Amino acid sequence: MIPEIRRALLAGVRIVAIALSLILLVGTLGRVAASDKTEAQGIVDKSKATFSDVMSDSNFYWLQKYIKDAKAILIFPQVLKAGFFLGGSGGTGVLLVRIADTNKWSNPAFYTVGSVTFGLQIGAEAAEVVMLAMNDKAINTLLSSTAKLGGDASIAIGPIGGGAKGSVAVPAVTADFLSFARSKGLYAGLNLEGSVLAVRDSLNAVYYGKGVGPEDIIVKRAVKNSDANALRAVVEKAAAR
């Protein structure tokens, strides 16, 4: 075979191989992006269901009262905690912030909560967690990429029960965050002291179609997704002053 023809054929083969590789890569990335977007919307939908269920539970009377003064809310549909000597907890959820001038609520930003604890722990627990950010310090803490509860901001476990009959006054909250959890499993409860809140950049990016951080979503309100309107509506209704 003439050397020039052979070189041309080899070059053509390389071009075809590169093109096929790019096609496969784009296809794979497309499937990953679609999967991430499905996960993100699933978290939003589950957050709505969790919030609705907890708000209709008479044991969370005080959550229903305190949310009217909350500046933001974090909803984690499922926080898993399991361990054998080494225990840990973690879950993904959303943050919505009250828009002061309209009393509406922002689009959701995605966060994870996680911790590792040592000790004699045998069992597993799944919990639905709703956290209220009660002041500006709590919100400013959430604008960082990570925040430690009990370190960067204080957290208290919200009271459970039906509340005092005929009581109008709601006791003042001194903690930055107030946490309510509905647990299942072998653990008696879920203490989030020492847990770390971290931004889920990948889910924020895929949900809004571009790389955005919490400040873009909840402060600048530079992006929105109408698929979150149902979640925002139930929070707005429950938090109406």
Q: What is 219-237 written as a DSSP string? A: IS-----GGGHHHHHHHHH
**Count of residues making up the chain:** 241
- Show the tokens assigned to 172: 């003042």
Q: Answer yes or no: are the C-beta atoms of 179 and 192 closer than 8 Å.
A: yes
pLDDT digits (tens, 9 = 90+) for 93-149: 999 999 988 889 999 999 999 876 645 445 556 788 999 999 999 999 999 889 999
Give a yes or no: residue 156 inside a domain: yes
Cα–Cα distance measured from residue 17 to residue 23, given in angstroms and rounded to the nearest whole number: 10
Give a yes or no: residue 158 inside a domain: yes
Give a yes or no: residue 66 inside a domain: yes
H or E segment at 66?
helix 61-66
Distance of CA 73 to the CA centre of its chain: 10
- Fill in the DSSP letter of residue 102: T
Lowest mean pLDDT segment, chosen from 79-83, 130-134, 231-235? 79-83
Neighbours of 230 (CB within 10 A): 13
Per-residue confidence band for 20, with pLDDT thresholds at 50, 70 and 90: very low
The pLDDT value given to residue 6: 56
pLDDT digits (tens, 9 = 90+) for 136-168: 999 999 998 899 999 999 999 888 776 655 555
Give a yes or no: residue 131 inside a domain: yes
Give a yes or no: residue 1 inside a domain: no
pTM score, two decimals?
Answer: 0.79
Phi-psi category of residue 209: left, alpha or beta, with phi > 0 → left and psi -120 to 50 → alpha: left
Cα–Cα distance measured from residue 213 to residue 110, given in angstroms and rounded to the nearest whole number: 9
- Average pLDDT along the chain: 80
Cα–Cα distance measured from residue 231 to residue 101, given in angstroms and rounded to the nearest whole number: 20
Counting the structural domains of the chain, the total is 1
Give a yes or no: residue 35 inside a domain: no
Per-residue confidence band for 86, with pLDDT thresholds at 50, 70 and 90: low
Give the domain extent around 168: 44-239
Per-residue b/e over 186-204, b at no fewer than 16 CB within 10 Å? ebeebbbeebbbbbbeebb
Give a yes or no: residue 114 inside a domain: yes
Give a yes or no: residue 9 inside a domain: no
Q: Answer yes or no: are the C-beta atoms of 233 and 52 closer than 8 Å.
A: no
